[in-house]
Amino acid sequence: MNCCKPEAIISENIEDESQIETRARCFNCKSVSRYVTKKTMFLMLKPDLFERIGDGQYFFCGHVECPVVYFSEERQETSFSKGDLRVRVGVKEKEAPQPLCYCFGFDEADLKEEIAVTGQSTILARIIKLVKAGMCACDRTNPSGACCLGDITKAVKRLQNESTVFR
């Protein structure tokens, strides 16, 4: 399944709600949150938590400071936090490893290393090539259930800016 659209990389400004699929606000931090499928949740949550998943719609909170990962708009008590998942949630992590691309295994350290050596990164282009070949599985591997291209693009820009500040 090709779930990503490399020609439509998410806007750099995540606060611009018109640029992302918005369905609800996190009850904890009030940030913009996206719909997430229960299939994604079952693949990400620790098995002993499956019974806590309710019948309502769930959303993914990607705010770095918020411990909530998944929440139901209907019932706050059916939310799940970082510790409830089998994997690290890269957009919420401040320390390594900070996964960015769950399909192909790239993390922030990979970007930092490449940018430190060359001043740029080829990782985004490599991922786009793999996505165009139909090799992504973001709905099954990424805790957000969404494509990582927007997160990778933002991380590359941020790290390149940080790199030029320290030169």
100-114 pLDDT per residue, tens: 999 999 999 999 999
* 71 and 97 share one domain: no
Q: Is 68 helix (H, G, I), strand (E, B) or coil?
A: strand
End-of-domain residue from the set 61, 86, 111:
86
Structural contact between residues 31 and 66, judged by C-beta atoms closer than 8 angstroms: yes
- Model pTM greater than 0.75? yes
pLDDT value, residue 18: 44
pLDDT value, residue 42: 97
pLDDT value, residue 5: 62
Within a domain: 149: yes
Looking at residues 46-71, what average pLDDT do you find?
Answer: 95
Rounded-to-integer distance, Cα 31 and Cα 122, Å? 31
* 68 and 103 share one domain: no
Tokens 């399909």: give the residue.
103
Angle at 160 between CA 124 and CA 31, to 5 degrees: 75
Rounded-to-integer distance, Cα 153 and Cα 146, Å? 14
Specify the range with the lowest mean pLDDT, choosing from 11-25, 79-93, 116-130. Answer: 11-25
End-of-domain residue from the set 71, 86, 101:
86
* 121 and 53 share one domain: no
Give the alpha-carbon dihedral of 166, 127, 107, 150, to 10 degrees.
70
Q: Within 56-142, where are the H helices? A: 108-118, 123-132, 138-141
Task: Tell me which residue range forms the domain holding 55.
Answer: 16-86
Total domains in the chain come to 2
Within a domain: 10: no
pLDDT value, residue 2: 52
Within a domain: 48: yes
Sheet holding 24-25, edge to edge: 24-25, 32-36, 58-61, 68-72, 80-81
Give the domain CATH number at 99. Answer: 1.10.10.1100
Can you say how many angstroms the Cα of residue 80 is from the centroid of all Cα atoms in its chain? 16
Cis status, amide bond into 67, omega within 30 of 0:
no
* 130 and 167 share one domain: yes
pLDDT value, residue 14: 37
* 101 and 79 share one domain: no
Within a domain: 78: yes
Rounded-to-integer distance, Cα 76 and Cα 93, Å? 23
